[in-house]
């Protein structure tokens, strides 16, 4: 097992201008692991309720995702998120959040996974992220995501996560919110001083920025006339990013740039359908074709 992902496995009820789906598979760890599964061996540390469907378990397992650390709580329900997207597909409006099994989630990393070389702390309570960090031996690379809810309500815990990770994956508004800086590059400098050596700033339809102390890389998002459902775009980005790095087993600058493109590839496929319908049905050829499309989208050559 190369990549350990801690986060949520959830049921989502989503409404977009293109339709509506109720109680479909989602969650930060599920999207991330599915995207990463095309590149490397992945295991999930998460919790579900007794309502978790066999077919969803089988879908994840059919992608060789290791579910041996997926806890099931009897007599309780899985985490449920209900959200809606308007014409501007960049921001979700949360209608309802039922934490359910997440309330008492105590992540346990099995002995066999403690030496995992790559760790992704997907969006979840920073307390859970810290507990996982405490159980790992010494991963080669740790990345983490978060969201506005934790910035507002668990800032202290979150600030304890930052010095222990290598890469912070965060969206643009959250980078400003967490740093208190209006200019994005000032925000990035401030966040880099809190611990991580690298920031990946997600900008929705505007792509991503990868920022270190001495370099910036900018990647656009893939041009799509129809974004069916943005849910999980950030998580599938992270899955492509971490999966690609795990498969290369190095963190050279060119690996990290290509990883950011691979993340963008996976996110672009994910938003083409509801839940992970598209993300779960890709071929190696699909992925390479879109990577090459990103090349054509961005290249301009020397003067």
Binding mask 184-223 for a second copy (x = CB under 8 A): xxx--x-------------x-xxx-x-----xxxxxx--x
User: Of the two residues 8 and 264, which places its CB atom closer to a second copy in the complex?
Assistant: 264
Contact by Cβ (8 Å): 253, 215: yes
User: Of the two residues 22 and 295, which places its CB atom closer to a second copy in the complex?
Assistant: 295
Out of 15, 57, 131, 257, which residue is the one contacting a second copy (CB under 8 A)? 257
Check binding of 302 to a second copy (CB under 8 A): yes
DSSP the chain: --EEEES--EEEEEEETTEEEEEEEE-HHHHHHHHHTTTS-EEEEEEEETT--HHHHHHHHHTTEE-TTEEEETTS--EEEEEEE-SSTT-EEEEEEE-GGGGG------GGGTT-SEEEE-SS-HHHHHHHHHH-S--SEEEEE--HHHHHH-HHHHHHHGGG-SEEEEEHHHHHHHHT-SSHHHHHHHHHTTS-SEEEEE-GGG-EEEEETTEEEEEPPPP-S-----TTHHHHHHHHHHHHHHHHT---HHHHHHHHHHHHHHHHHHTTSSTTTTGGG--HHHHHHHHHHHHHHH-----
Check binding of 230 to a second copy (CB under 8 A): no
Residue 200 beta carbon to a second copy: minimum distance, rounded to whole angstroms:
14
Residue 187 beta carbon to a second copy: minimum distance, rounded to whole angstroms:
10
Check binding of 260 to a second copy (CB under 8 A): yes
Check binding of 288 to a second copy (CB under 8 A): yes
Question: In this chain, which stretch among 21-29, 53-61, 149-157, 284-292 interacts with a second copy, using CB under 8 A?
Answer: 284-292
Binding mask 143-172 for a second copy (x = CB under 8 A): ------------------------------
Check binding of 252 to a second copy (CB under 8 A): no
User: Of the two residues 21 and 210, which places its CB atom closer to a second copy in the complex?
Assistant: 210
Check binding of 75 to a second copy (CB under 8 A): no
Contact residues for a second copy, defined by CB under 8 A? 87-88, 182-186, 189, 203, 205-207, 209, 215-220, 223-227, 254, 257-258, 260-261, 288, 291-292, 294-303
């Amino acid at each position: 097992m190369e990549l350990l992902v801690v986060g949520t496995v959830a049921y989502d009820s989503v409404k977009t201008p293109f339709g509506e789906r109720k109680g479909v598979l989602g969650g930060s760890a599920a999207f991330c692991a599915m995207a990463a599964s095309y590149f490397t061996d992945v295991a999930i540390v998460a919790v579900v309720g007794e309502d978790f469907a066999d077919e969803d378990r089988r879908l994840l397992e059919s992608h060789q995702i290791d579910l041996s650390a997926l806890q099931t709580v009897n007599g309780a329900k899985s985490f449920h998120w209900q959200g809606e997207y308007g014409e501007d597909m960049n921001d979700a409006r949360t209608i309802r959040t039922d934490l359910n099994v997440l309330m008492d989630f105590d992540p346990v990393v099995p002995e066999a996974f403690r030496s995992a070389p790559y760790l992704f702390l997907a969006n979840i309570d920073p307390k859970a992220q810290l507990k996982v960090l405490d159980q790992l031996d010494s991963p080669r690379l740790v990345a983490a995501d978060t969201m506005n809810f934790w910035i507002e309500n668990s800032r202290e815990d979150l600030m304890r996560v930052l010095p222990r990770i290598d890469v912070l994956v965060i969206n643009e508004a959250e980078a400003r919110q967490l740093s208190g800086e209006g200019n994005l590059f000032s925000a990035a400098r401030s966040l880099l001083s809190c611990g991580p050596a690298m920031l990946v700033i997600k900008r929705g339809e505007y792509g991503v920025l990868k920022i270190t102390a001495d370099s910036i890389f900018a990647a656009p998002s893939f041009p799509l006339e129809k974004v069916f459902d943005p849910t999980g775009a950030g998580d599938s980005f992270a899955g492509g990013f971490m999966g690609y790095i795990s498969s290369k087993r190095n963190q050279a600058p060119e690996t990290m740039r290509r990883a950011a493109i691979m993340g963008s590839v996976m996110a672009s496929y994910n938003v083409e359908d509801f839940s992970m319908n598209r993300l779960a049905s890709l071929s190696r050829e699909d992925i390479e074709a879109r990577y090459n499309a990103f090349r054509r989208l961005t290249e301009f050559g020397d003067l």
